[in-house]
């Protein structure tokens, strides 16, 4: 084997190793892994930037959501096709470098690519025969690689869609508790009006577990965050933001013992810790590295906060002094506000109260109907007039 053929063979081996490194890190390893020397994350990110720009040009909301919602399944299929194409190219380089040890020898590189594809996909027409130990090893490796990749991908798809379905269960239930799109203020109002405040600790416990699962799964499988919720106006980012806002309002604005005791406050504090951990870690994973200390703004105007206080007062909560609670609320929400909004912007999440692009969302849209109207009214009807 001369130097040129050795370099061709080496290039093929390097390409094959890179692809399997990407598949191993992206499919097999169920934890955070470095993006260095990874094909998948780069491909998914670059394609998303283009896809999102095309989607945001659509004026019709339903059309835009349908288009953006098709991204994740499309990207997943294209990534699989890219892996297979690169493996075929890598093995094609190896077969081309070993053409002197094959019968019949491929006449050009494209015939070597055909041989590699036929071997990788285990089609086996019988029109190719390796006649040396190394070429036989490459042929066996190509066939085994094809079977391994497709087996791993099938298993990966089951894992991916199972994790997605588990993520969506609590998001759908939040619709009835916090409105659509979800609001932390509406969540507290509805729990107070329905006399369910004793259930808040269990609610926050469920969302702590949900947050931990989302953090683990969305870092282990970075394509998951791109899967959008199947119900209009919902998203995993807005849902997490609404629950965090409810917990933050409870701990910074409501007086302990008024309607909420130490159990509710304690559960809210724990929810804030795990929720902030989830938001900030995911933000860092997707490259939004910033120091919240440099931007202490809560992402909420004081006028919006005062409006939220009026809603809580009307629901029967006893509130702390206005300026003191605003200072504590601003400090606490600033911990996660920037990261949360960066995630909402990156994933083009539907607008929600205090999360992402919320210019067209009013607080009153999240309220339940008045008690006498609940049996006959839409649960998202505006009753604040």
Provide the domain limits for residue 219: 180-373
Q: Which CATH number fits the domain that encloses residue 14?
A: 1.10.287.70
The CB density around residue 305, as the number of other CB atoms within 10 Å, is 21
Based on the fold, state whether residues 193 and 119 are members of the same structural domain. Answer: no
**Looking at residues 99-128, what average pLDDT do you find?**
82
Are 299 and 333 a contacting pair, CB within 8 Å?
Answer: yes
Arithmetic mean of pLDDT over the chain: 85
What's the pLDDT score for residue 258?
Answer: 62
Q: How many domains does the chain have?
A: 2
The CB density around residue 232, as the number of other CB atoms within 10 Å, is 11
Based on the fold, state whether residues 231 and 342 are members of the same structural domain. Answer: yes
**Looking at residues 146-150, what average pLDDT do you find?**
91
Task: For residue 142, give Cα distances in angstroms to 64, 82, 102, 106, 212.
Answer: 41, 16, 15, 17, 39
Least confident segment among 6-15, 23-32, 48-57, 270-279: 23-32
Based on the fold, state whether residues 359 and 212 are members of the same structural domain. Answer: yes
Based on the fold, state whether residues 144 and 209 are members of the same structural domain. Answer: no
**Looking at residues 9-30, what average pLDDT do you find?**
89
What's the pLDDT score for residue 10?
Answer: 92
Q: Read off the pLDDT of residues 303-336 as tens digits, 9 standing for 90 and up.
A: 999 999 999 999 989 899 999 999 999 999 999 9
**Looking at residues 227-239, what average pLDDT do you find?**
90
Q: How confident is the model at residue 369 (pLDDT cuts 50, 70, 90)?
A: very low
Give the burial string for 171-185 (b: 16+ CB within 10 Å, else e): beebbebbbbbbbbb
Assigned domain for 171 exists: no
What's the pLDDT score for residue 373?
Answer: 43
Based on the fold, state whether residues 195 and 320 are members of the same structural domain. Answer: yes
Based on the fold, state whether residues 112 and 226 are members of the same structural domain. Answer: no
Assigned domain for 165 exists: no
Based on the fold, state whether residues 226 and 308 are members of the same structural domain. Answer: yes
Residue 243, phi then psi, degrees to nearest 5 = -65, -40
The answer, yes or no, to whether residue 299 has pLDDT greater than 90, is no
The CB density around residue 294, as the number of other CB atoms within 10 Å, is 7
Closest Cα to residue 155, out of 147, 166, 165?
147
Assigned domain for 383 exists: no
**Looking at residues 36-58, what average pLDDT do you find?**
89
What's the pLDDT score for residue 364?
Answer: 44
Beta-sheet strands, E only, within the chain = 102-103, 129-130
How far, in Å, CA of 341 to CA of 334, rounded? 11
**288 torsion bin: left (phi>0), alpha (psi -120 to 50), beta (else):** beta
How far, in Å, CA of 155 to CA of 27, rounded? 9
Based on the fold, state whether residues 197 and 345 are members of the same structural domain. Answer: yes
**129 torsion bin: left (phi>0), alpha (psi -120 to 50), beta (else):** beta
What's the pLDDT score for residue 290?
Answer: 61
What's the pLDDT score for residue 374?
Answer: 39
The answer, yes or no, to whether residue 2 has pLDDT greater than 90, is no
**Looking at residues 357-375, what average pLDDT do you find?**
46
The answer, yes or no, to whether residue 243 has pLDDT greater than 80, is yes
**Looking at residues 107-118, what average pLDDT do you find?**
88
Assigned domain for 208 exists: yes
Based on the fold, state whether residues 117 and 253 are members of the same structural domain. Answer: no
Residues 6+ apart with CB under 8 A from 218: 224, 225, 282, 285
**Looking at residues 2-20, what average pLDDT do you find?**
90
Q: How confident is the model at residue 274 (pLDDT cuts 50, 70, 90)?
A: very high
Q: Read off the pLDDT of residues 152-170 as tens digits, 9 standing for 90 and up.
A: 989 989 999 999 999 999 9
What's the pLDDT score for residue 262?
Answer: 84
Structure tokens at 200: 């808040």
Q: How confident is the model at residue 293 (pLDDT cuts 50, 70, 90)?
A: low
What's the pLDDT score for residue 368?
Answer: 44
What's the pLDDT score for residue 96?
Answer: 87
**Prior bond to 297 cis, omega within 30?**
no
Half-sphere exposure of 140 (CA within 13 A, CB side): 7
Assigned domain for 206 exists: yes
């Amino acid at each position: 084997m001369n130097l040129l053929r050795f370099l061709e063979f080496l290039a093929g081996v390097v390409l094959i190793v890179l692809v399997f490194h990407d598949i191993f890190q992206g499919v097999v390893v169920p934890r955070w892994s470095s993006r260095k020397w990874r094909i998948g994350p780069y491909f998914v990110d670059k394609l998303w930037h283009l896809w999102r720009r095309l989607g945001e040009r659509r004026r019709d909301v339903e059309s835009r959501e349908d288009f953006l919602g098709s991204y994740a399944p499309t990207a997943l299929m294209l990534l699989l096709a890219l892996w297979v194409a690169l493996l075929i190219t890598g093995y094609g380089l190896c077969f081309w470098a070993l053409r002197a040890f094959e019968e019949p020898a491929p006449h050009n590189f494209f015939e070597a690519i055909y041989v590699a594809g036929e071997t990788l996909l285990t089609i086996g027409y019988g029109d190719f025969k390796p006649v040396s130990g190394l070429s036989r090893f490459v042929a066996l490796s190509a066939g085994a690689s094809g079977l391994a990749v497709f087996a791993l991908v099938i298993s990966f798809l089951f894992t991916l869609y199972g994790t997605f379905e588990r993520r969506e269960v609590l998001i759908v239930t939040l619709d009835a508790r916090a409105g659509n799109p979800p609001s932390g203020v509406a969540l507290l109002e509805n729990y107070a009006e329905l006399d369910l405040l004793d259930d808040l600790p269990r609610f926050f416990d469920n969302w702590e577990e949900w947050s931990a699962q989302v953090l683990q799964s969305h870092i282990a499988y970075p394509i998951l965050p791109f899967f959008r919720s199947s119900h209009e106006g919902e998203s995993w980012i807005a849902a997490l933001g609404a629950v965090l806002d409810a917990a933050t309002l409870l701990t910074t604005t409501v007086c302990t013992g008024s309607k909420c005791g130490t159990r509710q406050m304690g559960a809210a504090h724990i929810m804030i810790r795990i929720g902030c951990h989830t938001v900030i870690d995911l933000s860092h994973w997707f490259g939004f590295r910033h120091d919240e200390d440099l931007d202490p703004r809560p992402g909420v105007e004081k006028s919006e906060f005062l409006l939220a206080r009026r809603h809580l007062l009307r629901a029967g909560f006893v509130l702390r002094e206005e300026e003191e609670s605003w200072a504590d609320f601003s400090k606490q929400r600033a911990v996660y506000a920037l990261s949360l909004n960066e995630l909402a912007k990156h994933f083009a999440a539907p607008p929600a109260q205090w999360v992402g692009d919320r210019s067209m969302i009013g607080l009153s849209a999240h309220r339940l109907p008045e008690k006498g109207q609940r049996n006959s009214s839409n649960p998202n009807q505006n009753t604040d007039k």
